[in-house]
Chain A
């Protein structure tokens, strides 16, 4: 009897919190909402050390934080989320650590793409951005399957940057541009334009992010979306990634809304100047 009443209380509290969160998002939606938010998931290992857990548990808690944030972004009306899961430079870490991350990634991808999984429930389409050839075969196959299975979802696009660095992305884009120009006929001078470069980027699946949020207080880009964040608002709360919550999302959106009118005006001016 007591258990039933306490679970009713918990459910009521949950509903109340959900209602307050949706009300807060309605309030925020009076101003412009970013179409695309990017996240650098920094601090999982530090979180594990702080709570005396092993790294694997730190990453698992980090994954839960990602799901939590994804639900919030979906409710807020954000259309694209990009997360920096694994950099090419992270391959320099200890092999057992790399192995832990890869195993966890495989486990989570397979869990997510089940019918009843959260991706289909929320209508999330998954894209993997990066040099997937560098991944082990099971992970690469799982990633490709995830992209296929969720291709029909339309509510939100989750771009997972894995085996990714921005400099590798730009170098690969240059390579593809050159191959493309060569295939189209090498006799004439084929000038590479900005649009050509953008078209060949791994991140061509999403527009440029309006906000880049990096947790754990580090203020650097770490070779993530260098091209795409040229005019993004950068926000770096001190919280570690597993500690990230609604308040950080709200603060990031408010900062974005503060500067958005200026950025919007600038974008229009630039667009008009290119048309002349």
Chain B
């Protein structure tokens, strides 16, 4: 009888479980965001097609003090900015499908959103930005799609490398890049080499990466050290292990904040070890639509959370 009622009601799970609406907080209206941006000394919202990382100074007095006055919207505190933000850039294909566009357009729009996020992170003083560009689990997608994505990655990096260099952004790659085509591998190696002295923002791009494979390769490296007699099995602890993970390229390997777009409530095999105490933020916004408003909202949510680290 239960089955019959289920069918008769025409209920689909989508209808029953609608996405949770974003909280209707007057602080997060567009005009409030714009005034917040002016306070922070950020450029007015725009859609830029090329990376424009002019240094916009952030005088400390532009940020509100921690004392809140009634009626005043929540403002971002520079001293509470997360040092490391990780992003799962989900929703490009859905964005394209909703507009009747080919998947490639979704990925192009996603690339523009990434440029905006890099620019904003740099301006806000975030030190490390890790983005999940391509999971090892994504190889099962149609080959045409994967080829479009790889080609876009190649083109995007070629076009923006000079801008990134001048904006003092350092690039690192985590994941197994040996499966990528040769010219892309060479391009990545060149990007890593030429930007390695940059220090304003460290952009870590996860390509052909999964958190589990990262942990397994760390295990393999540790096992090799044990085999070579460098350490004993009894010496293997969390500190020893962590040094072998892909994120050992940065001084801040643990993200303070993970943002996932498109409303999915999963980590999807991204940065498993490193997410131990990371604040997770899920937004219904699709990645190509993730702009300054959404990013500031995520950071504001982060700053309102109480982090206890087990205590």
Task: Tell me which residues across on chain A come within 8 A of B305, comparing CB atoms.
Answer: 218-219
Task: Say which residue of B215, B264, B277 sits within 8 Å of A223 (CB atoms).
Answer: B277
Which one, B58-66, B171-179, B279-287, is touching chain A?
Answer: B279-287
Which one, A66-74, A122-130, A227-235, is touching chain B?
Answer: A227-235
Which one, B10-18, B36-44, B68-76, is touching chain A?
Answer: B10-18
Q: Could you give, for residues 258-270 of chain B, a 1 whenever the CB lies within 8 Å of some chain A CB and a 0 otherwise?
A: 0000001111111
Question: In the complex, how many angstroms separate the beta carbon of A247 from the nearest chain B beta carbon?
Answer: 13
Interface size on A, residues (CB 8 A): 60
The number of residue pairs between A and B whose CB atoms lie closer than 8 Å in the complex comes to 153
Are A234's CB and B280's CB within 8 A? yes
Contacting B at CB under 8 A, from A214-248, are 218-223, 226-227, 229-235
Q: Could you give, for residues 46-60 of chain A, a 1 whenever the CB lies within 8 Å of some chain B CB and a 0 otherwise?
A: 000000000000000
* CB-nearest residue of chain B to A224: B276
Task: Say which residue of A171, A251, A270 sits within 8 Å of B237 (CB atoms).
Answer: A171
Q: For chain A, what secondary structure do more than half of its interface residues adopt (helix, strand, loop), or is it mixed? A: helix
Known: A167-B273, A171-B241. A234 touches B6 (CB 8 A): no
Are B227's CB and A221's CB within 8 A? no
Known: A220-B278, A266-B137. A30 touches B216 (CB 8 A): no
* CB-nearest residue of chain B to A234: B265
- B5, B13, B234, B281, most chain A CB atoms within 10 A: B13
The complex places the Cα of A167 from the Cα of B279 at a distance, in Å, of: 17
Question: In the complex, how many angstroms separate the beta carbon of B75 from the nearest chain A beta carbon?
Answer: 22
Are A230's CB and B223's CB within 8 A? no
Question: In the complex, how many angstroms separate the beta carbon of B304 from the nearest chain A beta carbon?
Answer: 11
Are A270's CB and B137's CB within 8 A? yes
The complex places the Cα of A254 from the Cα of B14 at a distance, in Å, of: 9
Known: A230-B211, A230-B272. A174 touches B5 (CB 8 A): no
Binding site for A on B (CB under 8 A): 1-3, 5-6, 13-14, 16-17, 137, 139-140, 210-213, 215-216, 218-220, 222-223, 226-227, 233-234, 236-238, 240-242, 264-270, 272-273, 275-282, 305, 307, 309-311
